[in-house]
Amino acid sequence: MNRNGRRRLVLVVASALILGGCGAYGVGGSGSPSVTKVKVTAPFTETGTVQPGTTFTPSGPGTVTVGNQVVEGQFSSKLPSKITLPGKKGTGSAAAVGGIRSVSGRFISRLAGSLNLLTGAGTFSGTKVMRLNGKLGDLCLTWTSNTTNGGNNETGTFRVAGGTKVAATARGGGTYTATKSQNGTTATLTGTVKASGKIGKPAKKPSADCKALAAQL
């Protein structure tokens, strides 16, 4: 496998966290959103392409340090049940807005880490912005991951780190497992995400790094 084939594509899906909570993130009679606990497991698929600019620095026999790798692509997830989008402030009801059963959008991720070119085993961390369809905003994440089996199996953890619109009210994190199929610098991850947290907290703005990434979407 050539170097391009070994380039890490680290993708974390947390749409289940922000959207899983929307089913209970309604608008009360006072016009104020309620804080709702979220716990959800959902399948996901992501396809992303590594952008130019990744650095590979030899760090030992068959190993390299990966730096400034940027991945852009699309994601989708079928949720375990139909969820209701939040209503407009002051309407007193979220149900009238309607519900959705799936979620999709675009993402951009910047990562760094270490990679064994012989085995595909690696350890990575980074920042990711998920632009959720349905005008739910940008969800910012920080994450870590590990790869095994020639880079084709991946496990990881993530934490919400602010956002915009409805996504800015999310707090929490979770784990994911996935398998990867790769074609050059484009790869598809298919797996399961488990997330828990809260929706409806005071809005938390994304970090400067997240804002810079979001500007590239």
Q: CATH code at 185?
A: 2.40.350.10
Rounded to two decimals, the pTM is: 0.79
Give the rounded distance of the alpha carbon of 44 from its chain centre: 10
The number of domains in the chain is 1
Q: Which domain holds residue 39?
A: 3-214
82-99 in b/e form (b: 16+ CB < 10 A) is ebbbbbeeeeeebeebee
Give me the pLDDT at residue 18, please.
41
**What confidence tier does 82 reach under pLDDT thresholds 50, 70, 90?**
low
**What confidence tier does 1 reach under pLDDT thresholds 50, 70, 90?**
very low
Residue with tokens 């199929």: 181
Give me the pLDDT at residue 40, please.
78
Within a 10 A sphere around the Cβ of 213, how many other Cβ atoms? 23
Taking alpha carbons only, the member of 138, 187, 144 closest to residue 163 is: 138
Q: How many residues does the chain have?
A: 217
Q: Which residues, at least 6 apart from 97, have a Cβ–Cβ distance to it below 8 Å?
A: 84, 85, 86, 87, 88
Give me the pLDDT at residue 166, please.
84
Rounded to an integer, the average pLDDT of 109-136 is 93
Cβ(127)–Cβ(210) under 8 Å?
yes
C-alpha pair distances (Å), 22 with each of 33, 36, 40:
10, 9, 12
**Highest mean pLDDT, choosing among 54-68, 72-86, 192-206:** 54-68
- The tally of CA atoms less than 13 A away on the side-chain side of residue 142 is 9
197: left (phi over 0), alpha (psi -120 to 50) or beta: left
201-211 in b/e form (b: 16+ CB < 10 A) is beebebeeebe
Give me the pLDDT at residue 32, please.
41
